[in-house]
């Protein structure tokens, strides 16, 4: 038995491979069966000849292909897969099916001759006499023949020929070239190299290889791979068992859910039954009353007829006055009301079976092991700190205008609303203006649905539409000032925030606000709005259909459901144990993952909240070039459009982050439409004036409401500004 085989068996025993795993070592990876004419690749993986032929035909496009098992590059022999070296070392190590104790007879000359060799090409056992002729015959002299010892074990004897001198056997090993050579090579091309006899080198190599494969690190690696496979199977079994438990839990919850629904149904049925019994009792009482009234009136009525027909003059005169009074008195109870046969009584109004709400009530799947691990990897920390990549930056006309709203379309464009100028522009993601539309009223916010932009006019109480060709139309007229607007494209519904006062800094506690649901052909519906939402200036929708509101009076981002229930309220806490920071929300939007982006005009940042309204991080700030941001929108390609109070538009790619990339300098200069260059530092003074209520924007915070009123005069002077004023900034 060879040292290699002994070392391998030792490794198998030490690593404690199962019989199934040992079986895989003796099988072709492609067909998963015992080798048939096994061939050895350059990477030392073995496959059946026919299997590797089919694989090469299907996967080899040039002179090499990748090993089916380890995927390493393998060079295809010039004569094709048939030229791959035959692997004589795999398969059963014994000749025949015996265990070595039974007699091994020659397959050529009969049972009486003891086998001494085995030919792998002929697949025959040969005795000493037959193998002599086998090695001399031209057709079989180059076959691989293995010797068979007394135990029946094979020992391969190979006599490879030199590729340069095909009649010579490879008898020497060139230590410099690390290859076998023949006697002619040793005397010619390798004559200056040190070479040794193959037999001498083989003894050293055998010892080195035996020592190598018995290294503990190899045993440990083999065992680790084996354990991984076992653990994968074990985990699969555990997962299947867990799946069964989960399905059982879901089924039990379904039964409990159905039980509750049945109880609710019974409550309704009992209530209907009780109402029916009460109605029946009331009906019976009413019927008895009506019978008495009928008899009373009929008796007097027919008595009057008898008097009229039979009484003399004295009797007629004596009874007529009183009879007329009685008839008039009894007929004033309006008995016709009791004869109304129209449908009446209580009715059943089905509730909103919102799938998301019902799913949340039903339950949720979670992994405590994963949720309990709050540690972040370096890559995760780097990703959270990374900044979106700037795609494009351009200016909107005219100079220093307020971009009051942005509405991305279904393509790589967005409608941009310049409220004070009563204009909307259709820009490409490269900053090219493809369309400009002018309105007759000051505008405020904009959204997009079904190839149309929907624009609000807070002064005219209108929602108007415009298509890509520039055609305008009035969509609806509201009873109050219309401010924020958002489209639910899945339901073809427009939601608009309505307020009593168009200037947010003039809002009084008594002023009312509402959210309108505008659906084509179905009219306008007013949704419940919590009183803690005094001024819904900007709107967005999250994935659950809940409204996300930027309230400019409450200075908060509020999430509420369709019933008016507030689900969360963010006022700039940023996770600082409830400690509020400077927070003045303006534009707001939601990406496809449900993350919320809100402009904080107090700090010139875009803050990112999760779907529940909890702070995550400041995703963009002054270092990214933001200067007086005002509006924000997210398109379908996950790009964030940010508009400023100075007419600057910036587009960022949320899918691409750069932690170390250069950001636009907050002190860089920009050129206006007239060719003038001004430092952006000067804009900071303008912004400070704006926050003090002294410039044209009128964007004082509600905290400073008294100051703004004292400086601007009456409400009529401030809240109904001209197109050139800061009405859109309100």
Most confident of 95-99, 358-362, 511-515: 511-515
Predicted confidence at residue 154, as pLDDT, reads: 63
DSSP E strand stretches across 70-198:
73-75, 85-86, 105-106, 110-114, 117-119, 124-126, 145-148, 154-157, 172-174, 179-181, 195-197
The pair of three-digit structure tokens given for residue 327, joined into one six-digit string: 């008839």
Burial class (CB in 10 A: 0-12, 13-18, 19+), 577: exposed
For the cut 90, the answer to whether the pLDDT of residue 541 exceeds it is yes
Average the pLDDT over 718-724 and give the result.
33
Domain layout of the chain by residue ranges:
1-91, 218-333, 388-656+680-729
The angle, 0 to 180 degrees and rounded to 10, between the axes of the packed helices 3-15 and 198-213 is 0
Neighbours of 510 (CB within 10 A): 6
Greater pLDDT, 541 or 387: 541
Tokens 């398969």 -> residue: 91
The CATH T-level fold of domain 388-656+680-729 is Neuraminidase (2.120.10)
* CATH class of the domain defined by 1-91: alpha beta
Q: What is the pLDDT of residue 349?
A: 80
pLDDT in tens, 561-619: 888 888 899 998 876 554 556 899 999 999 988 999 999 999 999 999 998 899 999 99
Count CB neighbours of 350 within 10 A.
Answer: 5
CA distances from 713 to 44, 705, 708 (A): 91, 12, 8
Mean pLDDT of the chain: 78
Confidence band for 236, pLDDT divided at 50, 70 and 90: confident
Which strands form 536-541's sheet, in the order they lie side by side?
A: 536-541, 547-551, 556-560, 566-570
Higher pLDDT, 634 or 261: 634
The confidence score (pLDDT) of residue 353 equals 74
DSSP conformation letters of 276-318: HHHHHHHHHHHHHHHHHHHHHHHHHHHHHHHHHHH--HHHHHH
Helices and strands (DSSP H and E) totals, the chain: 14, 40
Q: Counting Cβ atoms within 10 Å, is residue 218 exposed (0-12), middle (13-18) or buried (19+)? A: middle
- pLDDT tier, 50 (very low <50, low <70, confident <90, very high otherwise): very high
Scanning the structure block, which residue is given the tokens 């001498």?
A: 200
Q: Kindly list the distances between the CA atom of residue 644 and the CA atoms of 314, 435, 724, in Å, as whole numbers in the listed order.
A: 101, 20, 17
- Considering Cα of 684, then 688, then 689, then 691, what sign does the dihedral take? positive
Q: What share of the chain is helix, strand, coil (3-state, %, to 5)?
A: 35, 30, 40
Q: What pLDDT is attached to residue 355?
A: 72
Long-range contact set of residues 666-673: C-beta below 8 Å, sequence gap at least 24? 666/622, 666/623, 666/625, 666/626, 666/627, 668/625, 670/395, 672/395, 672/399, 672/400, 673/395, 673/397, 673/398, 673/399
For residue 220, the model assigns a pLDDT of 78
**Torsion angle, CA of 377/378/379/385, rounded to 10 degrees?**
110
Q: What is the pLDDT of residues 244-287, one digit of tens each?
A: 888 998 899 899 889 988 988 888 888 888 776 666 666 666 77
What is the pLDDT confidence band of residue 676, given thresholds at 50, 70 and 90? very low
pTM of the model: 0.45
Q: Regarding predicted confidence, which is higher, 373 or 306?
A: 306
The model's confidence at residue 432, banded by pLDDT at 50, 70 and 90, is very high
476-491 average pLDDT score = 91
Secondary structure letter of residue 534 according to DSSP? -
CB 19 within 8 A of CB 26: no
**Residue 556 half-sphere exposure toward CB, CA atoms < 13 A:** 18
Rg (CA), the chain: 46
Surface-to-core class of residue 594, CB atoms within 10 Å of its CB (0-12 exposed, 13-18 middle, 19+ buried): middle
Q: Can you tell me whether residue 185 is helix, strand or coil? A: helix
């Amino acid at each position: 038995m060879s040292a290699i085989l002994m070392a391998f068996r030792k490794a198998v025993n030490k690593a404690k491979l199962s019989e199934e795993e040992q079986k895989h070592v003796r099988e072709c990876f492609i067909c998963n069966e015992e080798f048939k004419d096994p061939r050895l690749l350059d990477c030392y993986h073995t496959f059946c000849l026919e299997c590797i032929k089919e694989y090469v035909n299907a996967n080899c496009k040039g002179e090499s292909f990748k090993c089916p098992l380890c995927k390493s590059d393998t060079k295809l022999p010039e004569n094709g897969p048939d030229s791959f070296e035959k692997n004589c070392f795999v398969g059963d190590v014994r000749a025949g099916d015996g265990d070595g104790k039974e007699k091994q007879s020659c397959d050529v000359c009969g049972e009486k001759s003891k086998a001494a060799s085995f030919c792998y090409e002929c697949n025959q056992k040969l005795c000493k006499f037959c193998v002599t002729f086998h090695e001399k015959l031209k057709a079989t002299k180059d076959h691989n023949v293995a010797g068979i010892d007394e135990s029946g074990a094979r020992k391969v004897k190979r006599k490879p020929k030199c590729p340069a001198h095909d009649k010579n056997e490879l008898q020497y090993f060139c230590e410099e070239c690390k290859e076998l050579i023949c006697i002619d090579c040793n005397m010619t091309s390798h004559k200056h190299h040190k070479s040794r006899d193959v037999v001498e080198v083989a003894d050293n190599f055998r010892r080195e290889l035996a020592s190598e494969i018995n290294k503990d690190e190899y045993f440990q690696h083999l065992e680790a791979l084996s354990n991984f496979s076992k653990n994968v199977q074990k985990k699969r079994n555990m997962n299947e068992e867990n799946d069964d438990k989960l399905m059982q839990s879901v089924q039990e919850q379904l039964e409990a859910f159905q039980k509750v629904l049945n109880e609710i149904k019974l409550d309704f049925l009992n209530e209907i039954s009780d109402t029916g019994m009460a109605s029946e009792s009331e009906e019976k009482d009413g019927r008895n009353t009506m019978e008495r009234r009928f008899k009373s009136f009929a008796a007097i009525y027919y008595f009057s007829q008898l008097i009229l027909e039979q009484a003399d003059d004295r009797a007629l005169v004596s009874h007529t006055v009183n009879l007329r009074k009685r008839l008039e008195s009894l007929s004033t109870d309006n008995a016709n009301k009791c004869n109304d046969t129209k449908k009446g009584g209580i009715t059943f109004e089905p509730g909103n079976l919102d799938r998301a709400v019902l799913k949340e009530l039903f339950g949720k799947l979670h992994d405590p092991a994963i949720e309990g691990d709050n540690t972040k990897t370096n890559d995760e920390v780097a990703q959270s700190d990374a900044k979106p990549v700037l795609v494009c930056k351009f200016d909107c006309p005219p100079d220093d205008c307020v971009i009051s709203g942005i509405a991305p379309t279904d393509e790589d464009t967005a409608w941009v609303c310049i409220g004070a100028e009563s204009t909307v522009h259709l820009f490409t993601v490269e900053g090219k203006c493809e369309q400009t539309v002018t309105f007759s009223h000051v505008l405020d916010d904009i959204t997009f649905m079904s190839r149309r932009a929907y624009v609000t006019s807070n002064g005219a109480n209108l929602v108007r539409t415009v298509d890509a060709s520039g055609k305008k139309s009035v969509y609806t007229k509201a009873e109050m000032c219309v401010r924020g607007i958002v489209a639910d494209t899945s339901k073809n519904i427009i939601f608009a925030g309505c307020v009593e006062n168009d200037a947010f800094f003039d809002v009084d506690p008594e002023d009312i606000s509402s959210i309108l649901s505008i659906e084509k052909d179905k009219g306008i519906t007013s949704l419940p709005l919590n009183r803690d939402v005094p001024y819904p200036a900007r709107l967005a929708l999250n994935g659950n259909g809940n409204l996300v509101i930027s309230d400019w009076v409450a200075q908060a981002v509020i999430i509420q459901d369709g019933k008016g229930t507030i689900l969360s309220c963010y006022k700039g806490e940023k996770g600082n144990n409830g400690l509020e920071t400077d927070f003045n929300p303006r534009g707001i939007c939601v990406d496809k993952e449900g993350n919320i982006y809100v402009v904080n005009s107090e700090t010139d940042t875009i803050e990112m909240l999760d779907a529940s309204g909890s702070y995550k991080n400041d995703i963009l700030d002054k270092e990214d070039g933001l200067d007086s941001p005002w509006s924000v929108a997210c398109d379908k390609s996950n790009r964030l459009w940010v508009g400023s109070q100075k007419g600057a538009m910036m587009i960022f790619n949320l899918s691409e982050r750069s932690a170390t990339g250069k950001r636009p300098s907050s002190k860089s200069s920009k050129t206006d439409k007239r060719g003038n260059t001004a430092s952006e530092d000067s804009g900071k003074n303008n912004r400070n004036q704006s926050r003090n209520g002294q410039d044209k924007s009128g964007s004082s915070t509600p905290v400073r409401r008294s100051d703004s009123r004292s400086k601007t005069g009456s409400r009529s002077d401030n809240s109904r500004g001209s197109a050139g004023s800061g009405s859109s900034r309100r």
